[in-house]
C-alpha cells in the first residue's frame, strides 16, 4: 500500500482492534490507529468519520473499522464520498467486497468475531485485488448516484 491503513474502533471493538493491530504488524502492513485508545464508552460515528475522512482525503489507501457488530461503522463510513465500506463476517464476503466492489474500508464486529477469524478475514481482504472489468463500471456508478 502506498499510504498507511487507517484503523479505528469504538469501545465495543477496542479489544479486537488491539488484536488486529498485532496481526497487521505480523503481516507487515503499516497502519495508523485513529482511536479509540481505551475501552471507555465512545460514539462509533466519531471514529468511523476519522477513518472515512482519511480514506476520502488520500491519507490512507484503506481503512479498517471495528464496533460491536460492524454495522454502525459501515453505515457511517459509507456516507463519505469515495468510501466503499463493506461489512464482512467471513473470508468469502471479504474477498468479494474487494474483487467485485473495490471496498476500501472493511468493517468488522468485535462482539461477533473471535480474533483468529477476524485476522483471516482481514488477510483475505488485504490480499484480494479488485477484478476491474465488468465490475469497474458498477463501482463507478456508486460515485455518480
Catalytic residue at 82? no
Give residue-wise pLDDT tens across range 28-80: 999 999 999 999 999 999 999 999 999 999 999 999 999 999 999 999 999 99
96/60 Cα distance (integer angstroms): 21
For domain 5-144, which CATH number applies: 1.20.810.10, 3.20.20.70, 3.30.428.10, 3.40.1400.10?
3.40.1400.10
**Domain extents in the chain:** 5-144
Out of 37, 82, 100, 117, the active site residue is 100
Catalytic residue at 135? no
> Does this model's pTM top 0.85?
yes
Question: How far is residue 92 from each of residues 73, 77, 87, 120, measured CA to CA in Å?
Answer: 20, 21, 12, 10
Give residue-wise pLDDT tens across range 86-99: 999 999 999 999 99
Amino acid at each position: 500500500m502506498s499510504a498507511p491503513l487507517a484503523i479505528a474502533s469504538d469501545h465495543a471493538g477496542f479489544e479486537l482492534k488491539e488484536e488486529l493491530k498485532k496481526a497487521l504488524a505480523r503481516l507487515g502492513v503499516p497502519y495508523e490507529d485513529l482511536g479509540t485508545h481505551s475501552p471507555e464508552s465512545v460514539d462509533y460515528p466519531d471514529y468511523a468519520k476519522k477513518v472515512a475522512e482519511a480514506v476520502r482525503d488520500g491519507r490512507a489507501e484503506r481503512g479498517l473499522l471495528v464496533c460491536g457488530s460492524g454495522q454502525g461503522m459501515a453505515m457511517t463510513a459509507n456516507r463519505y464520498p469515495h468510501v466503499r465500506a463493506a461489512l464482512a463476517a467471513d473470508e468469502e464476503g471479504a474477498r468479494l467486497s474487494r474483487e467485485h466492489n473495490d471496498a476500501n474500508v472493511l468493517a468488522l464486529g468485535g462482539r461477533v468475531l473471535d480474533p483468529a477469524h477476524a485476522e483471516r478475514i482481514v488477510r483475505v481482504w488485504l490480499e484480494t485485488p479488485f477484478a476491474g472489468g465488468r465490475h469497474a463500471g458498477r463501482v463507478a456508478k456508486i460515485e455518480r448516484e
